[in-house]
Structure 1
Amino acid sequence: MFLSGAKNLEAKKEWINELNVFPVPDGDTGTNMTMTIMSAANAVKELDNADMKTVVKAISSGSLRGARGNSGVILSQLFRGFAKVVSGYDEVTVDILSEAFEKAVQTAYKAVMQPKEGTILTVARGAADKAVSMKGRTKDIVAFCEAVIAEAEATLAKTPDMLPVLKQAGVVDSGGQGLVCVLQGAYDALIGKDVDYASEAEAAPAPTKTKYIVEFVVEADAPLASYQLKEIQAKIEKIAVGEISDIKIAEEGAETVAVEAPKKEEPAEPAKEMGFVSIATGEGLTSIFTELGCDYMIPGGQTMNPSTDDILSAVEKVNAKTVFVLPNNKNIILAANQAADICEDKQIVVIPTKTIPQGITALITFDPDASVEDNQAAMTEEIANVKTGQVTYAVRDTMIDDKEIKNGDWMGMGDSGLLSVNADISVAFKEMIDLMVSEDSSVVSIYWGEGSDQSKAEELGAAIEAKYPDLEIEISEGGQAVYAYIVSVE
């Protein structure tokens, strides 16, 4: 039933992606939920003659570590709660399933600091309430599942009445729809419907690796020492976009000598007190975070939410007793919190940065001489003072916040919603800035990315400076995908 539910979700993921309210080119709810459940499905497929306890442990652990995005994390918490009840039995009955549904919802709600109704949580609770109401009333599991799914579908249909933004966009909640797909798929297996359990990844041909031979000449004023050759080796390793092998460095005319790739070893130095892991996409933004002292960067963001396991792996690479994690995206915070709960060998402190500018501010605020607690308080306080705006393009027609949006329009989005819409990116940008700037503002930082360039960014910066002469304008290359501009006003 679980594998069938996972397969049905995977099959519907693109449709679920399209249900996202904001028509940006990164609708990823379906993708995140699918990657989450497939992490668990793969763990289940690897089991051999497993009993109930082993199966549900694989479901729980696999989904927790593979969880991506808020919807994926909530889905993993639903499985976690469900597994806590079911793992104690060899066979499940209607009464046991009722308890499991109830525990699933309780666990998921606890994982979210400020639960919002009209979401996947609401759909899950509707299903659980129905499950509890049937406890002791029937022993027919098929009838039980039919009633629970019908209630989940009915609750999903009501989500636009709970969240006005859904009603205006004319869609139901995408996370809730994903959950319904899982339940419907599980039901298909229960009633004996033929299901192909192979995932898209398994059906697709294995990717072929392409090898490149790169040659260049280094001219030095004097013969290089062995340590300098190793430095060249390290630099080549650092800039490579693939796996490096067979590196050979030698003086011209001499016999070529292979330089062994450096072995990964445990750090010899004692662990420092505090370190940083941050999430961002774009070479420029990555460089900015690194220069400000971030120890490890996870590539990702709005278009690619890292999993809980990705964050745990990154933290493991930082030689520090306490590691601050900067998600820099509201859809990554839950996965980071989940990593903090799972990690056992070091302390993870999540600073709830929702945007790239907040992450940069957090790093600037950090004081290496202060305590973990003081730094956490200071960074959390400072990021609240940062206003963020992001400019991207619409991928479909819709209506948000009473603003009509056409496919291809440019949208300026602020911390709390849509600020501007226009077919002209410059107009959309300027209207967004006008709504962000106040009499307390002093600095505007512009990070340009995909869809812009240095000259266009400088032109917009000059226009802001002309209108607001008291503001200091800073322009940097971000290199981020999807968003032509990321702006902070402080």
Structure 2
Amino acid sequence: MGEILDGAAVRRWSRIAAEALGRTRAEIDALNVFPVPDGDTGTNLHLTVLAAADAVAGLPGDAGTAEAWRALVQGALVGARGNSGVILSQILRGLAEIVGRPETCADREAFAEALGYAAVLAGNAVEHPVEGTILSVLDAAADAAAAAVEAGQEPPADPAATRAGPAGVARAAASGARRALRRTTAQLEVLERNGVVDAGAAGLCVVLDALVAVLSDEYPERYEVPARAAGRAVGRAPARDERDDPPGPGYEVMYLLDAEDESVPGLRESLDGLGDSLVVVGGGGLWNVHVHTDDAGAAIEAGLSAGRPHRVRVTCLHAGGGGRPQAPCAGRAVVAVTAAEGLAALFESGGARVVRREPGAVPPLAVLAEAILAAGDEVAVLPNEPEVLALAEAAAERAREGGARIAVVPSRASVQGLAALAVHDPLRRFDEDVIAMARAAGATRSGRLEVAAEEAVTSAGLCRPGDVLGLIDGDVAMIGAGVAEVARKMLDRMLPGGGELVTLIPGTYAPDGLAEELETHLREACPDVEVVVYDGGQVRFPLLIGVE
């Protein structure tokens, strides 16, 4: 193997680093006392690098340097787990932006520069950096690499000899990281109290050692993790005692976020006010968000305000603490979320358990998770609003920790949820039942009427306060002056695509006689279409429409 960070080296490094972290995972887990003593840092780093390695392994065998580095970074970003995993994904991004090109992948100066740049990127990603962590050790590795370049050695006259560059610089960086790792115990009080080094920093040292092995083609029999204090068990995080600080926030919230770059500073500010251990990494429209907080729902709502969260993961940080899901009840059930009393009654009449939310808000995560667990051990969840969908996924993830089988049916409107509930059959196999419900929801076009509160530019043009907006599948399709007029045009727009059943759900402030007027219109325009009318009681929308 030549001393060059090309595509082949990236492929080999990712695999060797994943294997090395797999072998040292339990030892690193045993060091984990900061930011919370949950004993999973080694596991999280291992899973993060495995995701990166899998992404690189999925490339064609002749993939080039830039393509391999891109896959490594993307795989780590999407697969990052835990605080240290997210930071490591940003470190890989920093390396890739400097040495991820064919013209720099064999340059030792570029490698030293890349480590320095990675340190800056990773430090900027952490809202409140702390000495004695993976960031301190990364800084030391970058300084050692720069010193190695400055100390020695002009580039050889023979261009082929430059291939010998990165291995020596990587070895200096790894040695500098090991020295800094030993210093972390004295830099952070909780580490000193427990007699350990920082777990995330220890994992970084293993990753750097694996890079040295690949570049030098010299593979150690084992990758060293520093010994812990006498009597410390391997594979278990050091226990807290009465001298320890009170437990911090109760939940770790992580999600991927599709968002424009300019929305991220506002997201950081919002999340910083909700908890700690805040890390936001990524770029180019895709971000990985990590925060420890007591209000997981608010953290997810912040993501909804900035963009589109997905792959939401909420983990209870304190074993035995408040909020860990209990064992689920037995049985099959459906849980539906709604804000309106009339809609709640409709869902309940169909056999669903209802979680009520305030208009314009999402229900608390703990409330939704507890409702799911109380419903049964096989539960289908109907979010019924786009804003609730991500929260439902998070609540389902928490409920699964208690052993339940949970499926979130992607209903983005109440009419879709009602259509899904109509085909629910508890006698079917759970998977088959969920598929049938998802198909029914997906086959239902949703419409709603809303009165504009302010002037705005929409996909249908400029609207002013008091205008009636007609939305089809979430997009403004038309603007008018009256509810009945817009409703008729909405139905005419929605039905030509096919439809056998139209559901009309007038709200609290719907004009008198609206449903009867629309039924008459449908009998004349589409006599073969069946029409059903329910009183929804929703406040914000004068009318909800479903076309199946």
Q: When the two structures are superposed, what TM-score results if normalisation uses the length of structure 2?
A: 0.45
Q: When the two structures are superposed, what TM-score results if normalisation uses the length of structure 1?
A: 0.50
Larger Rg: 2
Greater RCO (CA < 8 Å, at least 6 residues apart): 1
